[in-house]
Amino acid sequence: MTSSLIPERPLLISPTLAATIGLEEAVLLHVVSELLLQHAPLYRQERRFAAITEDTLMAALPFWSLADIKRVQQSLQGLGLLLVEAVPDEERTWLFAINQPLSAARQRAIATSHSSTTTTVAPAAAAPRTGSNAGVATRLPSHWQPDATLYQQCTQRNIPRDFIDRELTTFVLYQRDRGKTEYSWQRAFLTWVISGWEKQRSVQQAKVLEAPMSNEWMPSDDAVSILEHGGISLGFIESAVPEFVLYWREKGTVGSEWNSRFIAHVRRQWERYTHTLTNDTTPRPIPRDFAPDPACYDVLGMANIDPAFAEAQVSEFVLYWHDRNEIHRSWNTKFLQHVKFKWAQQSQVGQTLMARITDRSWAD
């Protein structure tokens, strides 16, 4: 004998609909739409009604009590999504309809077969309709106000009351100026408020993340790791920090993606460096007559370092390394790091930055 953990037809709920009107409301609306297809139809007001008993609803929604069903039902009626009428002389039986007009083709098909196929259910002629102007598309009154249900649904989404009240004035003016009609202004306003609140939160979050460049800024470990995995040496990365900070501080730009900008900046400099700089392949001491490759000045120029300043550092650089008598593969690389450090030191980028890039980093 086989068994199943899902012996019944599952409920299919639209995430977008649930986010707009509420999860419970989306569940009940789906169940009612399924029940309407299972019961004999009554067509009127361009909608398909069906008589459904309270017992049928409870059987279809065993996880709710009747009080819960009524509570969610009233919420849907307040939103103008559900039409409910009492059936005369039948206790605990109600006419339900989704407040959405049938398509023109469906209306023609019903009219053609009406005389032979219509199932008659006595309408509740005197029964009041629930919801505002249920089943009728109307223009928005100038003094229209949402009911308490909408405020409750907005509270569940953490939308403050003052935001709703501010949006109400704009909503009424906008809709009246355009002469629009709606079957449910309650539903239209709820969608308006939710959309406006989400847009405002997105803008606020973006502003919180934005900040000007600071003297203490350093690339994140992730940014450095990305560059190192791209084959860029750590010394080259660190030597690029001072001019990057200085450049953006002088521009006064406010941003939220400094690490991304730094990665792009270093990659551009590295590409220029590796493609235009003559690389030494054999380690050797620095020559007495060492002169930086012209491409060095191009790379330093990209960092907004004065070529005259760079040229003035050559004598000190040669003397230092000649006295140390060390050997290296590329004296041009060492020269770039030396000049960038000296430029940062002169510009007084900041104590934190200078603590990381000491006067010996370019010699390691």
Q: Quick one: 94 and 161 in the same domain?
A: no
Q: Quick one: 107 and 54 in the same domain?
A: yes
User: 133 or 179: which carries more pLDDT confidence?
Assistant: 179
pLDDT category of residue 32 using cuts at 50, 70 and 90: very high
Q: Quick one: 263 and 336 in the same domain?
A: yes
Q: What is the total count of domains within the chain?
A: 3
Domain annotation covers residue 214: no
Domain annotation covers residue 126: no
Q: Quick one: 168 and 232 in the same domain?
A: no
Determine which of 57-71, 196-210, 247-261, 298-312 has the lowest per-residue pLDDT on average.
Answer: 196-210
Domain annotation covers residue 245: yes
- Count CB-CB contacts under 10 A for residue 297: 17
Domain annotation covers residue 315: yes
Q: Quick one: 357 and 261 in the same domain?
A: yes
Q: What is the pTM of this model?
A: 0.36
Determine which of 36-40, 218-222, 231-235, 352-356 has the lowest per-residue pLDDT on average.
Answer: 352-356
| 29 close to 76: Cβ distance less than 8 angstroms | yes
Determine which of 87-91, 186-190, 293-297 has the lowest per-residue pLDDT on average.
Answer: 87-91
The position carrying tokens 């990209």 is 302
User: 111 or 37: which carries more pLDDT confidence?
Assistant: 37
Q: Quick one: 12 and 110 in the same domain?
A: yes
| 296 close to 247: Cβ distance less than 8 angstroms | no
pLDDT for the residue 207: 55
Percent of the chain with pLDDT over 70: 79
Q: Residue 112: give its domain's CATH number.
A: 1.10.10.10
Q: Quick one: 143 and 59 in the same domain?
A: no
Domain annotation covers residue 60: yes
Domain final residue, candidates 58, 92, 121: 121
Question: Could you give the C-alpha distances from 30 to 6, 17, 56, 256, 268, in angstroms and in order?
Answer: 18, 10, 14, 43, 56
DSSP string computed for 217-286? ----HHHHHHHHHTT--HHHHHHHHHHHHHHHHHHT-EES-HHHHHHHHHHHHHHHHHHHSPPP-S-BPP
Structure tokens that stand for 348 in this block: 């007084």
pLDDT for the residue 351: 45
Statement: residue 206 has pLDDT above 70 = no
Structure tokens that stand for 45 in this block: 């007001």
At 262-272, the pLDDT tens digits run 899 899 888 87
Q: Quick one: 352 and 241 in the same domain?
A: yes
Q: Quick one: 238 and 351 in the same domain?
A: yes
pLDDT for the residue 150: 86
Residue 10 belongs to domain spanning: 6-121
Statement: residue 355 has pLDDT above 80 = no
Question: Could you give the C-alpha distances from 187 to 19, 77, 137, 152, 213, in angstroms and in order?
Answer: 13, 10, 13, 13, 45
Domain final residue, candidates 89, 121, 153: 121
Please state the φ and ψ torsions of residue 179, each to the nearest 5 degrees. Answer: 60, 30
Q: Quick one: 115 and 153 in the same domain?
A: no
Domain annotation covers residue 75: yes
Domain final residue, candidates 56, 89, 121: 121
Structure tokens that stand for 137 in this block: 């598309």
**How far is Cα of residue 224 from the mean position of the Cα atoms in its chain?**
27
Q: Quick one: 253 and 199 in the same domain?
A: no
- Mean residue pLDDT of the chain comes to 78
